[in-house]
Amino acid sequence: MSNAELLPEGGKRSLAKVPDEAALAPRDLYPQNGRYPASFDEGPDLAETVREYIRILTRRRWLVLSILGIVTTLGTLYALLSTPLYTSTVRLQIDRNVAKVVEDGNITPVEGSDTEFLRTQYELLQSRNLAERVASATSLVDDEEFLKAQGFSLLGAITGLFKSSPKSDDNDQAAVARRAVNRLTGNLAVRPVPGSRLVDLSYTDPSPVRAQRIAAAFADAFIASTLDKRFEANSYAKVFLEDQLKQLKFRTEESEKTLIAFGEKEEILELTDKSSIVDNNLAAANAALGSLIAERIKNEQLWKQVEQAQGFELPQLLNNGVVDGLRTKRNELVTEYQEKLETFKPQYPAMMEISRRIAEIDRQLGTEIKTIRMSLKAAYESSLNQENETKQRIDTLKTEALDLQKRSIQYNTLKREVETNRGLYNGLLQRYKEVNIAGGVGANNIFVVDKAQIPQSPTSPNILRALMLSILLGLGAGIGAAIALEKLDDVIVSAEEVERLSGLSSLGIIPKSRSGAEGELINPRSPLSEAYRSLCTSLQFTTEHGLPRSLAITSSGPGEGKSLTSVAIGQHFARMGLKVLLIDADLRNPSVHKKLQLDNSVGLSNYLTGACTPPETFQKTDLANLAVMSSGPVPPNAADLLSGARLASLLSGSLEVFDFVIIDGPPMLGLADAVLLSSAAEATILVVGAGQARRAAVAGALKRLEFSKSPMIGFVLTKFDAKKAGYGYGSYGYGSYTYAYGGQLNEQ
């Protein structure tokens, strides 16, 4: 069959399914075919994250198991080969304050709070000074068994390689003592009991007897050091206080002598510690003045009342016995006169006698009232004179007091100095007596609650604990290594990675061929054929009119299965009865003619250079409806040829003849060929090779395609290996199970 026979009658063929207007209509400048909506990616949920980590661990399970085995083996060997160690513990009670036999007898400083105090004690327990005391008390410097190495240390051996070995001298006592102290501090553990003043002091040693002996020695040394510190402080305080007492005693005597001499010179005499004679006289005069003023006011009021009174209504007159008696007699005479007046006339001698007697009584009352008034006036005047004299006395005393105050300024200064020196002397003397007594009291704030016992069983190594820790450490290291390698490895192995990276939908997942892809494509029951049939089915739902009229196929890099995918798609639709044209547009490294065993002497490059027409480049295949345009000779300027108008003319003319045009483009690789081909086609799919393509390359290819407004409709994942992908993926098997994306297996 010639090339012309590949064309329908008249050289044209209109398709009822896909109108030419749809194929040649202008595309959307911002196509969204195959892409998820902007709000689709809401981030992975917890279940998805867990499944992702399970997939990673399943994929790299051999790495995790290897690390787990190595770490567990090393940990177990270390535990089995380690020297058994025994730990003896003594429990101490550390009180903040000492039981005070003498009040304020303790002169050692105390920390500001319980936390600071206990923390200080814990640090003292781990001090080198205490370790040196224990080494001296237990003669560990002479114990060769104690000083020798206590087991192999991998870290010590490694660090020893980089250190210059010092010259060892067994006779150097200082070096031996340092080794003993370092051994003691390194094997000692101080563990406070939470919420109490108790602390456990533990010492670990290969010898149980020596462990018990050293633990007890640490407790005894700590108690002894506390007592020594207290005694030393008391001894120093005694010497200091004795010197201060001598100085203060001399100063007190001198100040008292100066005070007495000044008082004699200035004639200052004190009755009490707080007042002088002048002050006492002034105070007494003020008190007397108050009494005189009160008495004067009282006498003045009495005199004024009597002076202004006209009758006998005043209490001073009514309460007088003489006046009261005269008034009684007068009232009796008046009564008698009134009674007799009814019988006799006033000129009657008896009546006149009564009148005379009444007049005499009135005269006596007047004289008595006058006498009372004169006595009250005299009392008032006497009180007034005494008040004035007292005021004059007070003024004199005030003058004397002010003069005394002026003269007492220096006296008071000397007096205060005497009092200060005497107070300091008495305080220091009391303190000296207390410290002197407290110095002989062996009180301590450290007590042994539980004595150290000889351990009956070793505390390390614990085989079971070492095994569990090794397993946990190995498992953690293995999982960490697996996740780290997964994060560092940017090779794409699953469709989910491409979906998250690109936002494109997966059109199909092609399994990795085990026995040759071309051979498996011939077998319709092979997993490869099944996968490509599923891909072709997806292509029929990618546009609004179904299968796109022209399809460009590219990849981010070479060897990802792009050409095989183009051949498989073309063969599938050719078997379905569509007229299919497969164009090998990879003008740099063509491969379609090799897969179909065709001639490549004439092809696309010849047409683009104007050397021939399209029908002259078409070649027949084993399928009647499949025509192939090979790439032709490799040109030196592939991008220039593809950017010309002849490519668009080829596609428009081919779409008038063929139902479906497939363009097998070159990989992106930073070149413009694939971009030009993708822009010319109605739809573009990206082929991604699982286990081969890298995220950066795929992202770069997608970015270039998106920048050129290429109509992307999805991607195809080729060379997929379910075992390498890990947990959540099934496998192909025609006739029993077929692969379903997402990890589910559906029986057919």
Question: Residues 612-632: pLDDT tens digits?
Answer: 999 999 999 888 899 999 998
Is the distance from CB of 547 to CB of 18 less than 8 angstroms? yes
Half-sphere CA count of 537, side-chain side, radius 13 A = 8
Q: How many CB atoms lie within 10 A of CB 398?
A: 14
Could you give the CA distance from residue 311 to residue 306 in angstroms, rounded to a whole number? Answer: 10
Q: Who's near 256: CB < 8 A, 6+ residues apart? A: 418
What does the pLDDT read at residue 738? 40
Tell me what pLDDT residue 430 has: 72
Beta-bridge partners for 91: 200, 450
Peptide bond into 37 cis (omega under 30): no
Burial 457-481 (b: 16+ CB within 10 A, else e): ebeebeeeebeeebeebbbeebbee
CA distance 720 to 301: 131
pLDDT at 124: 86
Residue 144: predicted pLDDT: 75
Residues 6+ apart with CB under 8 A from 50: none
CA distances to 315, 339, 365, 371, 423 from 362, in Å = 19, 20, 5, 14, 80
Structure tokens at 208: 């149980």
Answer yes or no: are the C-beta atoms of 452 and 216 closer than 8 Å: yes
d(CA 735, CA 630): 36
CA distance 509 to 517: 14
| Residues 441 and 105 sit within 8 Å (Cβ to Cβ) | yes
What amino acid is encoded at 739 in this protein?
A: Y
The C-alpha atoms of residue 735 and residue 508 are separated, in whole angstroms, by 19
Q: What is the rounded distance in angstroms from the CA atom of residue 270 to the CA atom of residue 28?
A: 118
The CA distance from 394 to 171, in Å, is: 97
In this prediction, residue 20 carries a pLDDT of: 41
Q: Which residues are 86's β-sheet partners?
A: 205
**Cβ neighbours around 287 below 10 Å, total:** 9
| Residue 492: other Cβ atoms inside 10 A | 22
Q: Is 289 exposed, middle or buried (0-12, 13-18, 19+ CB in 10 A)?
A: middle
Residue 157 is predicted with a pLDDT of 54
Per-residue model confidence (pLDDT) at position 19: 36
Q: Which amino acid is at 316?
A: Q
Ranges in the chain, pLDDT < 50: 1-5, 7-33, 37-41, 101-105, 109-112, 152, 167-171, 271, 440-441, 731-748
Residue 699: predicted pLDDT: 87
- Per-residue pLDDT, 32: 46
Determine the Cα–Cα distance for residues 587 and 673; give it in Å rounded to an integer: 9
CB neighbour class for 674 (10 Å; exposed up to 12, middle 13-18, buried from 19)? buried
For tokens 């390689």, name the residue.
Answer: 161
Q: What's the pLDDT at 48?
A: 76
Q: Which residue spans within 617-670 are E strands per DSSP?
A: 618-620, 626-629, 660-664
Look at residue 407 in the predicted model and tell me its pLDDT: 64
Beta bridge partners of 720: 511
How many CB atoms neighbour CB 170 within 10 A?
9
